[in-house]
Amino acid sequence: MSRTHLSLFAALAVLAGSSGAALLAAPAGAATSSIPCSVDYKVQNQWDTGFTAAVTITNNAAAKSSWSLKWSYAGNQQVTSGWNAQITQSGAAVTVANESYNNTLASGGSVSFGFNGTYTGTNALPATFTLDGVTCNVDDGSGSSGGGTGGGGGDGGTGNRVDNPYAGTKGYVDPEWSAKAAAEPGGSRIANQSTAVWLDRIAAIDGVNGGMGLRAHLDEALKQKGSGNLVIQLVIYDLPGRDCAALASNGELGPNDLDKYKSQYIDPIATILADPKYAGLRIATVIEPDSLPNLVTNAGGTNTTTDACVIMKSNGNYEKGVSYALGKLGTIPNVYNYLDAGHHGWLGWDTNLGPSVQEFAKVATSNGASVNDVAGFIVNTANYGPVTEPNVKVTDTVNGQTVRQSKWVDWNQYVDEQSYALGLRDKLIAAGFDSGLGMLIDTSRDGWGGTARPTGPGPLTSVDAYVNGGRIDRRVHVGNWCNQSGAGLGQRPTAAPAAGVDAYVWVKPPGQSDGSSTAIPNDEGKGFDRMCDPTYGGNARNGNNPSGALPNAPLAGHWFSAQFQQLMQNAYPPLP
């Protein structure tokens, strides 16, 4: 996929069901005013002597400028390492305080952190949580009820839309991806994670080379669902002239094949998803990664322009195709459309962000589509941008210079994906999208752990030294997108990790290549992009920097064992 930008030249569940699907739990009691605060504490992974936990706090009282959460264990659990918070433990008592970058907790807002721990015997849940001395998950007597640890709620399988389709659900585990992951040494540690199913050609609807088609995945999702709720993620990815600024992920349809896209791709998908058999599933669709951002940055008058993108902007088939997909799929009550919005290193400049919002609003209100057909937007799809940069804030200055003047940031308004997602969300709502708009962040490969991960800010000798020494994103350039060397698995799929964010998701299945590092003949319409060549010196879209790509990569979407092993090795949070 093209990941370019226009620079400013000028319950808890360890395993859920037999499938091992991870439970995505929303903060219990959120938006229930009689409960001053709620805490969702869930164990994401557990083994004989250790575990990984994720905690989300929701504040239903007055806004806070700092916060402190406390609980005590009934057993011998010991916190060994944590992230996104300062965690200390004395005996059984645990105290968690905010970091400087997440100290603010708005009324109705949420904040999340995680940690690794050890235990022997039984790893029981903490019974009581207090936020700044106030007991959470308990009704204060004003007449409402609710609250508690773990996830719950949902639509009960009725097919009625909920505010956040990821809340209180299992996530669908793709058996085909899971089997490949489990076959890798150490891969069983993550083979139970929920990943998206990519419908990247017409043949994928029925299944390619004997693989599972759409109905097979939905039938398997029903089995994994059981009596609870389950969300299955589908990537709708076969536009005419697909991915006009890259070659590795070009598609099967020509620039003018809009009618074929509608009748042979979107219509059959919509027919299957509308089958009453699947009404109890929550279906999250990621609509056409790369398409609309390419129209903003790569289709007009700059040295990032490509002829292919100019054609797609001129004929309007990206816009018409995306509008058609939104309108057609948006009529199905249990489908939640998330429109792709690039990433901070692509659209994070003011000159890109404003036009992008206008483009999104145009597409969502034309050719039969409505803003009501858009549940939210997704950022960082198949990309590598960290959720947060703990050591670098866009407001930092060094010797009187803002970090925006550094070569890496290059005057961008954002340095990470969550700030970009929430900034974009505000602008989208102002442009007419629903105030309940939810954002997704693809965290499948943005962990950047391992020995190269900085442990603190860079030196104050210069703004470049400060940024380069402290940034956890270790890419050569923020525009690099293909099979990046040094990358690691990011935060595991989690619902409602922050206010305005529906979920962290793994849309790009870890281990699937972004593109081949050399030309490989194929019948999938996929070309050779030099950004996937580790010997390539770059172009204007990545500041003429090396590609940073891994060698010996297969075609886009094919299994890349060496990359999968690297992702596990550099995972952050670390794998057990």
Question: Hey, which residues are catalytic here?
Answer: 290, 514
Q: What is the DSSP string of 136-147?
A: PSS--SSS----
Alpha helices in 226-274 (DSSP H): 258-260, 267-273
- Given a contact cutoff of 8 angstroms between Cβ atoms, the answer to whether 339 and 322 are in contact is yes
Q: Which residues pair with 105 in a beta bridge?
A: 64
Which regions of 450-493 does DSSP assign to beta strands (E)?
Answer: none
Other beta carbons within 10 Å of 216: 15
What does the block give as tokens for 122? 């039984």
Residue 100 CA to residue 351 CA, distance in Å, equals: 29
Alpha carbon separation from 200 to 420, 512, 557 (Å, rounded): 27, 13, 9
Residue 568 gets which letter from DSSP? H
Q: Where are the beta strands (DSSP E) in 214-332?
A: 230-236, 282-287
Q: Which DSSP letter does residue 100 get?
A: G
CB count within 10 Å of CB 476 equals: 18
- Hey, what are 280's tokens? 């109890």
Nearest to 284 by CA among 566, 554, 559, 24: 24
DSSP H or E stretch at residue 359: helix 350-363
